[in-house]
Amino acid sequence: MILWMLLLPFLAGLVGLFLPGLARGLGLLATLASGLIALVALFAPGVAFYAEWPLFEPAGVYYAVGLDGASAALALTTSLAVFLALLAVKEVPGRMLALGLLMTAGLLGIFASLDLVLFYFFYEATLIPSLLLLGVYGGANRVRALIKFALFTLAGSLLMLAAILAARYTGGAESFLLRDLLSARPEGAAATLAFLAFTLAFMVKTPLFPLHVWLPDFHAENHPSGFADVMGTLYKVGVYGFFRFAIPLFPAAFAAFKPYLLLLAAVTALGAAWIAYAQKDYKRLLAYGALSHMGVAALGLFSGTAIGAVGALFLLAASALYTGGLFLFAGWLFARFGTLELAPTHGLARHAPALAAFGLFLFLAMVGLPGLAGFPGELLSAPGAWQASPFFTLVAFAAVIAAAAYVLSAYQRLFHGPPGKAVADLSGGEWVYATLATLAVAFLGVYPKLLSGPIHEAAQAFVAAIGGGK
């Protein structure tokens, strides 16, 4: 079943490259099917749809895939976010949609992989479509953003490759299968160096300060429709990499560096929130806002507790919906005004009240309003982080207050300034997206157990592997 979950968006993207007119329709069918497979796995006990066969047996490389509660939740929201994005965007090149589908297949592969080399393959496979999305369809300064993104990503990839080889050969594991690596975990200086290499690689893709500098330009220069930015919000696989591989494989090294990781997470959360407040470009504001959320998620995970891990992964899964929605909302604004400047001249609420109401709804979800999808992840991250460090928890959750400040400021400038030119309110296709996104974000806020329940089982296994707390 997981093979189909990966193949369907891949084949849809491949066909879409050659027949771009089919990309949207095939993509909708493929992501719907992938989402249904992930939904079935979400309610299955243990690891669902596990499959294993050798790819290169002499080297110990296997096609080993399966979905536990954490990976199923991320696969589900990834499929749903891309499905909704395909509904939302208008007048974008079909090949751009096809590249997004190829990237989706890679992301789903990342979440399903239970062999470290297979994980690395899918991790690298997402790089090519993301580079093409930015390099071919990006803005005027896309080359600068592309170079910065490529350099950070490639450096992280080389470090990860070294860490993968060290994880197996210094511990004497029989293969690159996760279960074999966990049964023969390396120790000593080699384990510390491998953990640091993994840490730097995953810090790039979380991202965490100071390896975050590629992110604002990446979002600011991506295609104004917001579709490529949705893919960017799904690309925060660093937290998942820490959860699935880096921390369980090297628990002693994690314990030694835990205070420093908590510090970096707290600095990322609060620093990005305050920088967001100063932004005059809407997409840059969202980029820093998303970065702040990843800092909070990382803080919960680095607590080494089950409840903190649940909060981190829930936040990672849910943010794909509301942060992705805000980037698509940016595309709607650009289509109407030709700019993403946060200028107090739009007066959007007077001309397009439904559009303004939907924007406010997504903003409130991003802030973490109770009853919406942004709240449970922040709420669950807090007690876990508090067990690890009350001080860093207070620092990071000051970011929540800062988020309210930059969101309210942006909302005031966008929606309630002096009336600008008259613009159209939500159209038919936009209404469909807005309705479905609203239902999804509200449902996860009202009934978070849909994701938090299955994630908790995986979080308990994570804590057992590292000897953490509740």
Distances (CA, A) of 365 to 159, 318, 334, 369, 422: 35, 10, 22, 6, 27
User: Domain residues for 235?
Assistant: 2-466
pLDDT of 336 reads 79
pLDDT of 90 reads 81
Number of domains the chain contains: 1
Specify burial of residue 453 (Cβ count, 10 A radius: 0-12, 13-18, 19+). middle
pLDDT of 14 reads 95
Q: Report residue 61: phi and psi, to 5°.
A: -105, 130
Instruction: Let me know: does 306 contact 283? Beta carbons within 8 Å.
Output: no
**Per-residue confidence in pLDDT tens, the chain, 470 aa:** 899 999 999 999 999 999 999 999 999 999 999 999 999 999 998 899 999 999 988 888 999 999 999 999 999 999 999 999 998 888 888 998 999 999 999 999 999 999 999 999 999 999 889 889 888 887 778 888 889 988 999 999 999 999 999 888 887 788 999 999 988 888 888 889 999 999 999 999 888 988 888 888 888 888 778 887 787 776 678 999 999 999 999 999 999 999 999 999 999 998 888 888 888 888 888 888 888 888 989 999 998 888 999 999 999 999 889 988 888 888 888 887 777 777 655 667 777 888 888 988 998 998 888 899 988 988 888 787 788 778 878 877 788 888 888 888 888 877 876 666 677 778 878 888 889 999 999 999 999 999 999 999 999 989 988 875 55
Residue 332 has which token pair?
A: 């709607």
pLDDT of 418 reads 67
Q: How far apart are CA 274 and CA 333, in angstroms?
A: 24
Residue 331 has which token pair?
A: 């595309």
pLDDT of 245 reads 93
Looking at the DSSP assignment, which residues form a beta bridge with residue 54?
Answer: 62
The pTM assigned to this predicted structure is 0.92
Instruction: Let me know: does 456 contact 78? Beta carbons within 8 Å.
Output: no
pLDDT of 333 reads 83
pLDDT of 235 reads 67
Distance of CA 378 to the CA centre of its chain: 15
Q: How far apart are CA 323 and CA 244, in angstroms?
A: 23
Q: How far apart are CA 106 and CA 121, in angstroms?
A: 9
- Neighbouring C-beta atoms of residue 280, cutoff 10 Å: 12
Looking at the DSSP assignment, which residues form a beta bridge with residue 69?
Answer: none
Looking at the DSSP assignment, which residues form a beta bridge with residue 225?
Answer: none
